[in-house]
Chain A
Amino acid sequence: MANIRLIRRRIRGVQSTAKITRAMEMIATSKMRRAQEAGVAGRPYDEKIRQVISALAALPQSGGAPHPLLQRRPVVKIAVVHITSDRGLCGGLNSNINRTTASFILEQKVPVTVITVGRKGSEFMRRVGRDVRAEFTRLGDRPSLLDTLPISRIVIDDYSSGLVDMVYLAYARFVTTMTQTPVLEQLLPVEPAEMPAMQNVEYIYEPGPEAVLGELLPRFVEMEVYHAVLESIASEQSARMVAMRNATESAHELIDDLTLLYNKARQESITTELLDITGGAAALK
């Protein structure tokens, strides 16, 4: 019967889809672990650099103007570094970040320019006709700090030259495997954390406090951008892992339903055939 063949073909189709989603889930799991490890590995550097910056910022200023990256200005233009993934199939992750950034932009009273990282975000920004300053795609699953330097470069340059007066980072923060929340953080001007009073050690600075701070601040910004990228990769992979697991489960459910349907149809056809035979035999008597 045509119906039976049709159901069988459908089952086979769903089975192969389930195989693919299952494989994608496993790949995402291992990539997520790697991204998490990369994020953890950079933590000591991050902590240290924060510590030193707040120690330096707490020093009495020697008259001169503060470092450009610490300078607060009246805000005339804002930039948002919008970090998304290159690929889809990761649930609502990218649309959540897109929505967060978009509503942030709409709330602002001053013009906002966007620097996009990741294909999904750049497509979105282009679709809604935003002013895109730069776009970065194809960073891959394991970017090095070097790969993200062009992003921080453009941010630092634009801020130092006065093109923008405030810079935000928008990305998906990795909370747990199940939860990733879109966040929007201020990147520039750098706001040094308050120093706990006890840690105040009298340092000798070489060549001098200002020079050290001047060298540290750009590295801090680079680090923050790098971290946001790593975090967004971990989020992407875990979101994909969950999405693919759900897809695999739904496929298995569908296969169960279809199998039931198939067996029913098969039984029905056997019954009709038997009836035909017994009917025929009765007629011969």
Chain B
Amino acid sequence: MAIRLDIVTAEQLVFSDDVDIVVAPGIDGELAILPRHAPLMTMLQPGELRVRKGGEETFMAITGGFLEVRPDRITILADAAERAEDIDAARAEEAKRRAEERLRGTLSETDMARAEAALRRSLLRLRVAEKRRRRRSEL
């Protein structure tokens, strides 16, 4: 048995397929959703999203949003979502370096928060991209 999963951002439909299980970074901790889950609406925190279909697993980096479970489908309203294979590791690395550099300087409170958020995002993207690479070398 499978359940429909749509991942949408304000700009595009990122993912749409029938899947077996979704593991998402919920606001109160990671949660796994299988078909026939009770209707649920939860906030997501920035983190890693795992989707399994058949024997195949897809990793995605997600920077927060919402997850809705209905009897027939799961919808994720993501602020931004990127598939592991689409993540440009070099760019993420560069962003991480920039954010770290900015954090070393003196900053106003909002700039500090912004730089920290940027750092968190780049670390997350790197982690997800890394996972993807490891899996490929195992195969």
| Interchain CA distance A145-B80 in the complex, whole Å | 10
| Interchain CA distance A222-B79 in the complex, whole Å | 11
Binds B, one of A43-51, A60-68, A245-253: A43-51
CB neighbors of B among A26-64 (8 A): 38, 41-42, 44-46, 48-49, 52
Whether the pair B8, A216 counts as a contact (CB closer than 8 A) is no
A44-B6, A48-B75, A49-B77 known; A206 vs B66 contact (CB < 8 Å): no
Whether the pair B12, A41 counts as a contact (CB closer than 8 A) is yes
A48-B68, A206-B27, A216-B66 known; A226 vs B10 contact (CB < 8 Å): yes
| Residues of chain B within 8 A of A128, CB atoms compared | none
Whether the pair B28, A223 counts as a contact (CB closer than 8 A) is no
Binds B, one of A92-100, A118-126, A197-205: A197-205
Give a binary string over B1-26; 1 marks a CB under 8 Å from any A CB, 0 the rest.
00000101111110000000000001
| Interchain CA distance A215-B66 in the complex, whole Å | 9
Q: Does A277 interact with chain B (Cβ within 8 Å)?
A: no
| Residues of chain B within 8 A of A222, CB atoms compared | 10
| Interchain CA distance A206-B42 in the complex, whole Å | 5
| Residues of chain B within 8 A of A205, CB atoms compared | 40-42
The smallest beta-carbon distance between B124 and chain A, in angstroms, is 17
Contacts between chains A and B (CB distance < 8 A), count: 69
The smallest beta-carbon distance between A149 and chain B, in angstroms, is 10
| Interchain CA distance A87-B3 in the complex, whole Å | 47
Q: Does A129 interact with chain B (Cβ within 8 Å)?
A: no
* A216 nearest CB neighbor, chain B only: B66
CB neighbors of B among A203-257 (8 A): 203-207, 211-212, 215-216, 219, 222-223, 226
- Give chain B's interface residues, CB within 8 Å of chain A: 6, 8-13, 26-28, 38-43, 66, 68, 70-71, 75, 77, 79
- Report the 3 A-B pairs with minimum CB-CB distance, sorted nearest first: A206-B42, A45-B8, A41-B12
12 further interface pairs, Cβ-Cβ under 8 Å (given A52-B68, A204-B40): A41-B12, A41-B13, A42-B12, A44-B8, A44-B13, A145-B11, A203-B40, A203-B41, A203-B68, A205-B40, A206-B28, A206-B43
